[in-house]
Chains A and B, each alone.
Chain A
């Protein structure tokens, strides 16, 4: 089946730094989504992308849908302590299909 390669696996950064993470796939997706998960909780949707080349922002978060439909990235600007958590990318072929998830990027912010 399809696989998503998400990198980096973990990031140790200082508060106030910018963060960048990405996801690549061996095959195309028609929708890319980014989620954040806190320990013991369900993932929370951050950004959804529907068109190749689309660049979408949500506050300090910016995500892009790659033009090849096989990749996406998420940037977080000026990180704050509450950004700590695991970030997942997910791809969807379309409609009611289930999501294919990356393995996550664990973001750790050092004071």
Chain B
């Protein structure tokens, strides 16, 4: 069966510091991968998606970037964090059925 992992689970970072969040999927090949951000008490907003290695589409202009160095690995990065980058970051994958399945999330607090 397929499994999706995210780490770290929680992160507290100062303003201006770099960021790297990782997402990996097991049990499937060539998944579509997604990064979403959820503000407190809100719905999810799509940040990036990828249909293959090295292919990244960005949905909103922002302080973040994404990379897909391997088939089942998706990384979310920032060179300098802003206070507004705080939130709950969720990675998701989909396969041939296009239903999206979410990971456990990373809670990021920028101080």
* Residues in chain A within 8 A of chain B (CB atoms): 4, 6, 31, 33, 35, 40-45, 48, 88, 90, 92, 94-104
**Contact residues in A for B100 (Cβ distance below 8 Å):** 33, 45, 90, 99
CB pair A103 B43 closer than 8 Å: yes
Judged by a CB distance under 8 angstroms, whether B46 is at the interface is yes
Minimum CB–CB distance from A27 to chain B (whole Å) comes to 16
Instruction: Mark each residue of chain B from 98 to 111: 1 if its CB lies under 8 Å from any CB of chain A, else 0.
Output: 11111111010000
The interface size bin for chain B is 20 to 34
* Residues in chain B within 8 A of chain A (CB atoms): 32, 34, 36, 41-46, 49, 51, 59, 90, 92, 94, 97-105, 107
A to B CB contacts below 8 Å, 15 in the list: A6-B43, A33-B99, A33-B100, A35-B102, A41-B104, A42-B104, A45-B102, A48-B99, A92-B98, A97-B49, A98-B49, A99-B46, A101-B44, A103-B42, A104-B41
C-alpha spacing A33/B92, complex, angstroms: 14
CB pair B105 A41 closer than 8 Å: yes
| Additional A-B contact list (17), CB under 8 Å, known A98-B36, A101-B44, A101-B45 | A4-B43, A6-B43, A33-B100, A42-B90, A42-B103, A42-B104, A44-B102, A45-B100, A48-B97, A48-B99, A92-B98, A96-B49, A96-B51, A96-B98, A99-B44, A103-B42, A104-B43
